[in-house]
Amino acid sequence: MTAVTIQCCAPITRDPLTEEEAAHLAGLLKAVADPVRLRLLSMIGSHEGGEACVCDLTDAFDLTAPTISHHLKVLRTAGLIDGERRGTWVYYRVIPETVARLGAIFTPLADAAPA
């Protein structure tokens, strides 16, 4: 994934994406293109102190703990969140660089930084 990271943050409407860049971005977008994962990401990012315990997250969903864990793992594997075990619980935070990368690729050209 490192090889394409350099080009990752240009708006996708500036230059045609290469196949490799498109495959990388599609993987990242697939990780967020799910209503449960979007809500988890949103809940973690907006939680007081910027982090949320898995115990703060499960009550909002009519889903089993293993299902929530699966969705958290997808977000974590994609580099969108990180987790740290402290005592009984794992605490999650959003990785702002990855979220910002997604934002940057959809930034209109007029707002984008010069190449």
**Nearest-angstrom CA–CA distance, 42 and 93:** 10
Number of CB atoms found within 10 A of residue 39's CB: 14
Stretch that binds a second copy, among 7-15, 67-75, 84-92 (CB under 8 A): 7-15
Which parts of 29-58 interact with a second copy (CB under 8 A)? Answer: 29-30, 32-36, 38-39, 41-46
**Nearest-angstrom CA–CA distance, 63 and 5:** 34
User: Cβ closer to a second copy: 60 or 65?
Assistant: 60
The 8-class DSSP code of residue 48 comes to G
Binding positions for a second copy, rule: CB under 8 A? 11-17, 19, 22-23, 25-26, 29-30, 32-36, 38-39, 41-46, 60, 94, 96, 99-100, 102-108
